[in-house]
Amino acid sequence: MRIDLHTHSSVSDGTDAPAALVAVARASGLDVVALTDHDTTAGWAAAEAARPKGLTLIPGMEMSCRWLPPGERPVSVHLLAYLFDPRHPGFAAERARLREERLSRAERIVDALEVGGHRVSWQQIVADRDGGVVGRPHIARALVAAGAVDSVDHAFATLLHHSSPFYVAKADTDVLTAIALVRAAGGVPVFAHGLATKRGRVVGDDAIAAMAAAGLLGLEVDHPDHRPDERAHLRGLAEDLGLLVTGSSDYHGDNKATAIGAEVTAPEQLEALLVAGTGSAPYQD
């Protein structure tokens, strides 16, 4: 059994349409794939409609959150959520707020860029989102199209960098609130790439313990951005806190070099996740 529980399609910041993503998953020899776009479930239906025979599709999402250490700057964290009921009113309202927040924040970045002499097409950004959410990748592609930068990477390293004068932060969900919402919707919350120091500031063990107390059910341990020592530390925490352990590629199509299935989850961990998730069913034959 080959199981990859973290992938992104074109409805967030991947490059494969949901239908293409499930085909790529099967062609790469996966038996189980989870679709976990940022802050949206917009890809679920198209992925299920195109799901090849023999592939199990786990409906999921990756939520943009913040950990708020007392007296310190918030730390950006990502929470994977699986098998939740997309109609749960409280959780659906929070996703709607996040999508609206992403739109208004993108507008503010685009306005600031224009004042700074970097004009991009809002029309193009909205068309590029493929029915899903907008983020900096869409603005980056519009900047490339406008000739303001020569690549998406260049845009992220300069005009869209979090230290750029054009950068605008978004008001992400408090991770403890997010965990409670996912559980209320029958879902399984798993802390994504929790110790990936190459991505920036990470939280301490105290934060992970607080998340576990709030209802967190798993830690993503095997992730391309985790070093061996970071994986070992997380594995120990999962053992201590009684959390399940996942491994995943965080596939983004052509936007990142990692292949789908590059990291995988053990079958017994998937079994535990399927038992815990009661808000929606996996799509399978």
Question: Which residues in this chain contact Fe ion in the complex, by CB under 5 A?
Answer: 13, 78, 192
- 135 is a contact residue toward ligand AMP (CB under 6 A): yes
Give min distance, CB of 27 to Zn ion, in A: 21
- Which residue, among 202, 195, 230, 219, has the nearest Cα to 273 in the 3D structure? 219
**Contacting residue, 137, 187, 218, 261, with ligand AMP by CB under 6 A:** 137
User: Can you tell me which residue has the tokens 């985790």?
Assistant: 226
- Smallest distance from the beta carbon of 193 to Fe ion, in angstroms? 6
Pairing of strands 244-247, 75-82: unpaired
Q: Does 62 bind Zn ion (CB under 5 A)?
A: yes
Site for ligand AMP contains 58 (CB under 6 A): no
Mark residue 215 as left, alpha or beta (left: phi above 0; alpha: psi -120 to 50; beta: remaining).
left
Interacting residues of 180 by C-beta distance below 8 A, sequence separation 6+: 214, 215
What separation in angstroms does the CA of 151 have from each of 158, 180, 200, 225? Answer: 11, 39, 22, 22
Q: Is residue 88 part of the contact set for ligand AMP (CB under 6 A)?
A: no
Q: Which CB atom, from 31 or from 189, has the smaller least distance to Fe ion?
A: 189
Q: In angstroms, rounded to a whole number, what is the distance separating the alpha carbons of residues 107 and 101?
A: 10
Q: How many residues bind Zn ion (CB under 5 A)?
A: 2
Is 172 a binding residue for ligand AMP by CB under 6 A? The answer is no
Contacts of 263 (CB under 8 A, 6+ apart): 4, 222, 223, 224, 247, 248, 249
**Applying CB under 6 A, which of residues 111, 153, 206, 239 lies at the interface with ligand AMP?**
153
118 forms part of the interface with ligand AMP (CB under 6 A): no
Partner interacting with residue 152 (select from Fe ion, ligand AMP, Zn ion, none; CB below 5-8 Å by kind): ligand AMP
Q: Using the structure block, give the residue that is written with the tokens 């023999």.
A: 54
Chain residues that interact with ligand AMP, rule: CB under 6 A: 13, 38, 135-137, 152-153, 156, 252, 255
* Residues lying near Zn ion in the complex (CB under 5 A): 62, 250
